[in-house]
C-alpha cells in the first residue's frame, strides 16, 4: 500500500512539473501538490485504521474460540460432578429406618447379604447418625438406640430398647352357633360370624387355619343341654390341633329335671403356618346336645408372629 501511495505522489509531482511547462504558476503547483499530499496522508490513515480494525476482529475471533473451548470444558466438569453426586446418593443410606442399602466395598457387600442385627452391622452398612433403629432379633424385630460417636466396643454404642411388635397379617375371629349340635368326632361348624379379620376361620368347616407362624390365643365358652336322667350324662368338647385333642371342656349332670351346664376352655398355642385348630364333641350322653341360641362362643387371634419365619427373611 505504501509503495502504491509513493507512486501516486511521484506521479502527481511529475504532473505538476509538467503543468509548469505549460504555463501554470509555481504557487498553484505547490497548492495542488500539497493537496495531493494531504489526500495521500488521509489514505494512509484510513489504511492504518483498517489494519487496526482487522487486528481487533482477529483478536475477537481468538477470544470467541477460547470462550467456546472454556464452555465445553465447564460442561464436561458439570457432567462429572453430577455423576459423582449420583454415586454418593446411591452409596449413602436414604433414611434412618431403611434396613438395607447397597454398598461398594467388601464390608458393605457382606452387610447387604444379610439383615442387620446390631448397630455394628448398621455402621458397616454406612449408617452414621445416632438414633433409634429396628434390627433383626431372635424371631422378632428389636428396637435399639445406636450411638455411632462411641467405639463399638463400648456398652453405650448399642442400647436395647425392646422388641418391636410386627405382624405381616392381621388375624382375629369371633364366631357363634345359633342352633344346637350333637354330632361327635366332627369339627363343629358355626353360623354366626361376629368378626373374621383375615378370613382364617372357615365357619362352614369350623376349621381355623393359621395364616402365619406364631403364637395364637383361643377361647371357648358354651352351654350344654342335659336332659333329666337317673344316670350321669356327660358332654365333652375338645380343642383339636392337627388331628390331636389338646384341651377339653366338660359338663355333666344327673337330675330328675333337665339342666343347662356351662363349660369353657382357653388355650395359647404356637402354630406353624398352615396348622389347623377346631372344636369337636368327643363324648355326649343320650338327650344331651350343644345348646344353640348364641350360647356357644369361639374366639381366636394372633398374639405374636414369628416374623422372620413367616416372611422367610434370613
Smallest distance, Ca ion to C-beta of residue 299, A? 24
Closer residue to Ca ion (CB): 252 or 275: 252
Closer residue to Ca ion (CB): 253 or 306: 253
Cell numbers linked to 213: 407362624
Question: Cβ(174)–Cβ(194) under 8 Å?
Answer: yes
Closer residue to Ca ion (CB): 147 or 252: 252
Closer residue to Ca ion (CB): 190 or 235: 235
Smallest distance, Ca ion to C-beta of residue 183, A? 22
C-alpha to C-alpha distance for 260 and 152, rounded to whole angstroms: 66
C-alpha to C-alpha distance for 151 and 156, rounded to whole angstroms: 9
How many residues in the shown chain lie near Ca ion by CB under 5 A?
A: 3
Closer residue to Ca ion (CB): 224 or 269: 224
Smallest distance, Ca ion to C-beta of residue 177, A? 21
C-alpha to C-alpha distance for 277 and 207, rounded to whole angstroms: 6
Smallest distance, Ca ion to C-beta of residue 100, A? 60
C-alpha to C-alpha distance for 115 and 125, rounded to whole angstroms: 10
Question: Cβ(251)–Cβ(222) under 8 Å?
Answer: no
Among the residue ranges 79-87, 238-246, 255-263, 290-298, the one whose residues contact Ca ion (CB under 5 A): 255-263
Question: Cβ(225)–Cβ(289) under 8 Å?
Answer: yes
| 65 CB-side CA count, 13 A | 6
x/- mask, Ca ion, residues 261-300, rule CB under 5 A, reads x---------------------------------------
Cell numbers linked to 249: 371342656
Closer residue to Ca ion (CB): 47 or 252: 252
Footprint of Ca ion on 193-252 (CB under 5 A): 252
Smallest distance, Ca ion to C-beta of residue 252, A? 5
Question: Cβ(296)–Cβ(176) under 8 Å?
Answer: yes
The residues binding Ca ion (CB under 5 A) are: 252-253, 261
Amino acid at each position: 500500500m505504501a509503495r502504491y501511495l509513493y507512486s501516486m505522489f511521484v506521479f502527481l509531482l511529475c504532473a505538476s512539473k509538467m503543468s509548469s511547462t505549460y504555463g501554470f504558476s509555481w504557487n498553484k503547483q505547490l497548492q495542488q501538490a500539497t493537496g495531493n499530499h494531504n489526500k495521500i496522508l488521509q489514505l494512509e490513515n484510513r489504511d492504518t485504521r483498517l489494519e487496526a480494525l482487522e487486528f481487533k476482529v482477529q483478536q475477537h475471533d481468538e477470544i470467541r474460540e477460547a470462550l467456546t473451548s472454556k464452555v465445553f470444558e465447564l460442561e464436561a466438569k458439570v457432567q462429572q460432578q453430577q455423576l459423582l453426586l449420583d454415586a454418593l446418593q446411591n452409596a449413602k443410606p436414604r433414611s434412618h429406618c431403611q434396613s438395607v442399602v447397597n454398598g461398594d466395598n467388601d464390608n458393605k457387600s457382606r452387610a447387604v447379604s444379610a439383615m442387620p442385627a446390631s448397630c455394628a452391622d448398621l455402621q458397616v452398612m454406612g449408617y452414621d447418625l445416632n438414633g433409634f433403629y429396628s434390627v433383626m432379633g431372635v424371631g422378632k424385630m428389636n428396637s435399639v438406640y445406636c450411638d455411632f460417636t462411641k467405639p463399638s466396643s463400648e456398652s453405650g454404642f448399642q442400647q436395647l430398647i425392646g422388641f418391636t411388635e410386627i405382624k405381616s397379617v392381621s388375624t382375629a375371629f369371633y364366631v357363634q352357633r345359633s342352633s344346637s349340635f350333637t354330632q361327635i368326632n366332627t369339627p363343629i361348624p358355626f353360623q354366626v360370624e361376629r368378626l373374621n379379620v383375615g378370613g382364617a376361620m372357615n365357619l362352614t368347616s369350623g376349621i381355623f387355619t393359621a395364616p402365619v407362624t406364631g403364637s395364637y390365643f383361643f377361647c371357648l365358652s358354651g352351654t350344654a343341654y342335659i336332659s333329666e336322667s337317673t344316670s350321669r350324662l356327660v358332654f365333652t368338647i375338645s380343642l383339636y390341633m392337627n388331628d390331636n385333642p389338646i384341651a377339653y371342656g366338660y359338663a355333666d349332670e344327673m337330675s330328675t329335671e333337665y339342666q343347662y351346664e356351662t363349660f369353657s376352655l382357653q388355650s395359647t398355642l404356637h402354630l406353624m403356618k398352615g396348622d389347623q385348630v377346631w372344636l369337636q364333641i368327643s363324648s355326649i350322653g343320650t338327650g344331651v346336645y350343644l345348646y344353640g341360641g348364641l350360647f356357644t362362643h369361639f374366639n381366636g387371634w394372633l398374639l405374636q408372629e414369628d416374623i422372620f419365619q413367616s416372611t422367610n427373611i434370613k
